Chains A and B, each alone.
Chain A
Amino acid sequence: MLAEKYSIVSVVAQALRGQRGWKPVWREPEPRAEYDVVIVGGGGHGLATAWYLASQHGITSVAVLEKGYLGSGNVGRNTTIVRSNYLLPGNIPFYEHSLKLWEGLERDINYNAMVSQRGVLNLFHSDAQRDAYARRGNAMRLHGVDAELLDRDAVRRLYPFFDYDNARFPIQGGLLQPRGGTVRHDAVAWGYARAADRRGVDLIQNCEVTGIRVEGGRAVGVETGRGVIRARKIGLACAGNSSRVAAMAGLRLPIESHVLQAFVSEGIKPLVDGVVTFGAGHFYMSQSDKGGLVFGGDIDGYNSYAQRGNLPVVEDVCEGGMALMPGIGRLRLLRQWGGLMDMSMDGSPIIDRTPVEGLYLNAGWCYGGFKATPASGWCFAHLIARDAPHPVATAFRLDRFATGHLIDEKGAGAQPNLH
């Protein structure tokens, strides 16, 4: 049973039938005893990996195992921002590849993910910060990524309601990436899931992996709440819980799990056109299509698996918002939630083989996982299918911590809560 292809024809036909003919968009199959590839984790990255395995590499004997429901983790807990404004060589080509995939995603998976390239603006508040952003913008342009350094007046034309003359953090300008923006995050999970299912990938929900079977140094299958599932290759895409799952195969990772909170205000009329980040604290904001301001800030800063945070960070985020845009103080907070971040030791991700043959790792996304979703799936599928890293992901090695080839954008060192 294939879900129907969406088009103007299907929309009109359903409208004429009173919208009563829509069918479930993916099957709910029983797990088979064996697959070519088992992906652990039915979030954005796992579902994208399954889709690209099927569509780019012709591997359709694939199961995605999800302990809850599809997209119940971080793909639905982020602030929906996509961008590729990175500084370091290992990162820029990867995230730019991701942004290019976002640009063609909806046609590729035949699903409206509401990709909106409304621009991402990083504000700076001092001469030194202007220099740092000029450097970053130049690094981006040298890699063929769009970047514009805006002065104060140019920022004021875009966002007249910011506090430009704040005594401590006057806005001096900003680095704009016009191609950055937002994507409806749940639709990304649903779209990839539906597309993968149409190619024959089995999406198994409520199926928690409780063990990884290793025989003779080779991973041969997983133990789950729904029985043992054997696989020729196993890919872990369960960021937030990577340490826990990798430990089932005897691995210790350079990762700590931390909680990151996000917030939505009550809905207001269209006000904030793009994505804006405050440069003197940690605060970033955009406006959803429903009208709520979506914003976030720092991780709470301590290890956690609780998917909820504490009030000091709520206060800190709101202070950042007030310093940037005092009018935000008139709004009420509608919702607030937390998600689990794989905070790696250098702030950058891992897409690599592991010392266990047949076991592949996609982890350490810190709080940059959402924007990476398409390229993460693309490169992880490439790695699993060909046993060789994709050219734009060669730097994301698991052994880089032992060899000293770190990718530390912030230069914070091996202290995950500072990345």
Chain B
Amino acid sequence: MRIACPFCGPRGSEEYTYLGDATVRRPEGDAPSEAWFAYVYLRDNPAGRHRELWYHGAGCRSWLVVERDMRSHDILSVAPARDMALARGRAA
């Protein structure tokens, strides 16, 4: 599996570290414990398109949001996590 880093180009997956689901959102500090439970533990775990966080530790050390098909490992898109977070911040 090769992931096309937006900064470094296509690199083997062994250069990256996987964190997990990129769609979960950290609740506000005073959110009820149910919200924290869902954030920490519950995952959609779809058998299809999955947006997930990868860290390019052996390259540019950027956090990336990778969209990947869990049934085929096809990489559908890669974007810097920072850009996506900033865009989301502006939209909110």
Q: How many inter-chain residue pairs (CB < 8 Å) link A and B?
A: 71
Chain B: minimal CB distance from A297 (Å):
14
CA distance A415 to B20 in the complex (A): 8
CA distance A301 to B1 in the complex (A): 12
Chain B: minimal CB distance from A347 (Å):
13
B88 within 8 A of A: no
Please choose the segment from A88-96, A199-207, A247-255 that sits at the chain B interface, where 4 or more of its residues have CB less than 8 A away. Answer: A247-255
B26 within 8 A of A: no
B-side contacts of A254, CB under 8 Å: 41-43
Query: Which partner residue on chain A sits nearest B34 by CB separation?
Result: A402
Tell whether, in the assembled complex, residue A301 and residue B42 are in contact, meaning their CB atoms are under 8 Å apart: no
With A302-B52, A303-B50 given, is the CB distance from A255 to B20 under 8 Å? Answer: no
Mostly, the B contact residues are: mixed
A56 within 8 A of B: no
Q: List 28 A-B contacts (CB under 8 A).
A: A241-B47, A243-B43, A252-B44, A253-B42, A256-B43, A256-B45, A257-B47, A301-B18, A302-B13, A302-B18, A302-B52, A302-B68, A303-B20, A303-B45, A305-B47, A305-B70, A306-B72, A306-B73, A310-B13, A312-B12, A312-B13, A315-B14, A345-B41, A402-B34, A402-B41, A414-B40, A414-B41, A417-B20
Tell whether, in the assembled complex, residue A305 and residue B18 are in contact, meaning their CB atoms are under 8 Å apart: no
Tell whether, in the assembled complex, residue B37 and residue A303 are in contact, meaning their CB atoms are under 8 Å apart: no
B71 within 8 A of A: yes
Chain A: minimal CB distance from B52 (Å):
7
Query: Which partner residue on chain A sits nearest B48 by CB separation?
Result: A305
Chain B: minimal CB distance from A408 (Å):
12
Chain A interface: which size bin? 20 to 34
A416 within 8 A of B: yes
Tell whether, in the assembled complex, residue B18 and residue A253 are in contact, meaning their CB atoms are under 8 Å apart: no
Chain B interface: which size bin? 20 to 34
CA distance A254 to B14 in the complex (A): 26
CA distance A414 to B40 in the complex (A): 7
B-side contacts of A337, CB under 8 Å: none
A69 within 8 A of B: no
CA distance A253 to B44 in the complex (A): 8
Tell whether, in the assembled complex, residue A312 and residue B47 are in contact, meaning their CB atoms are under 8 Å apart: no
Interface residues of A (CB under 8 A from B): 241, 243-244, 247, 252-257, 301-306, 310, 312, 315, 345, 401-402, 414-417
Tell whether, in the assembled complex, residue B70 and residue A257 are in contact, meaning their CB atoms are under 8 Å apart: yes
Tell whether, in the assembled complex, residue A310 and residue B1 are in contact, meaning their CB atoms are under 8 Å apart: yes
Tell whether, in the assembled complex, residue B71 and residue A306 are in contact, meaning their CB atoms are under 8 Å apart: yes
With A302-B52, A415-B20 given, is the CB distance from A253 to B12 under 8 Å? Answer: no
CA distance A252 to B47 in the complex (A): 14
Chain B: minimal CB distance from A388 (Å):
25
B-side contacts of A303, CB under 8 Å: 20-21, 45, 50, 52, 70
Question: What are the 8 A-B residue pairs with the smallest beta carbon separation, nearest first?
Answer: A243-B45, A312-B14, A254-B41, A401-B41, A305-B47, A302-B18, A252-B42, A305-B70
A-side contacts of B68, CB under 8 Å: 302
A-side contacts of B50, CB under 8 Å: 303
Query: Which partner residue on chain A sits nearest B72 by CB separation?
Result: A306
Q: Which of B1-17 contact A (CB under 8 A)?
A: 1, 12-14
Tell whether, in the assembled complex, residue B45 and residue A244 are in contact, meaning their CB atoms are under 8 Å apart: yes
